[in-house]
Amino acid sequence: MAVALFSTSLPLSAKVPSIHDDQKEKQWISMENGPWDFAPDWYYYFLHKNYSGAEMYWKWAGFKSGYRVRFKEEKSNVKRIMPVRVTAEETQRQKLSEVEKERAHVEELYKEELLREADRTVDLTYATYKDEFNRMQDCISDGLLYCLHKSDGKLQYQVDEISRVNAVLCADIAYIHKTGPGYELENAKRQQAYEDAKKRMGDLVSRTARLCAVAATHY
């Protein structure tokens, strides 16, 4: 009989529900990150008013009107306790966020550099100026040749000077047009350089034309 009673008591004891302490739960929630509330309220008002921030107030509720107790966190002389695991998780999230921002920034810089590299590899602007450069070079060559023949070589010095300046200009244009290692230049900068070269070449065309006028007038 004793064995039978013992065997029947085992499942009964296993089914006994665990006791839930609402008062302790409120205290822990308040000290962590939940609503600032404690129980029993009058107990905390009379014995733990300093750290609980308990205050008494009158509440109108008909026949149930009377004094009540409420808790104000700003009146408490203690601070909440952030659990270590929550702090660690938040720190880890912040670190991951910073790393992701840095990675995105580096990736953006890398993409920009790739675009610049591709832009420097091919001269996309020379074709726009090529025909104009060739036309002006023909004018300079034909004009200088005319001056030499017309003056019977007497304008050799002036022709040589214009030829020298023109050779330097043509070398500058050839350098701008080069691509590959050591000649990296974005097309926007190439375009500006070609514009400057075009202006300089136009000045040489004007000098050649004036020299041709001198040859035609004096020889």
Question: Residue 64 — pLDDT band, cuts 50, 70, 90?
Answer: confident
Q: Average pLDDT for residues 82-91, to the nearest whole number?
A: 60
Query: What is 10-77 written as a DSSP string?
Result: HHHHHTPPPPP-HHHHHHHHHHTTS----SSHHHHHHHSHHHHTEEEEEE-BTBT-EEEEEE-GGG-S
Task: Considering only residues 132 and 75, tell me which one the structure prediction assigns the higher pLDDT.
Answer: 132
The per-residue pLDDT for 26 is 78
Q: Average pLDDT for residues 37-46, to the nearest whole number?
A: 86
User: What is the average pLDDT score of the chain?
Assistant: 79
The per-residue pLDDT for 94 is 80
First to last CA, the chain: 148
Q: What is the largest CA-CA distance in the chain?
A: 148
What is the token pair recorded at 143? 């004009």
Measure the CA–CA gap between 38 and 52, rounded to whole angstroms.
7
pLDDT of residue 7 exceeding 60: no
Q: What is the pTM of this model?
A: 0.46
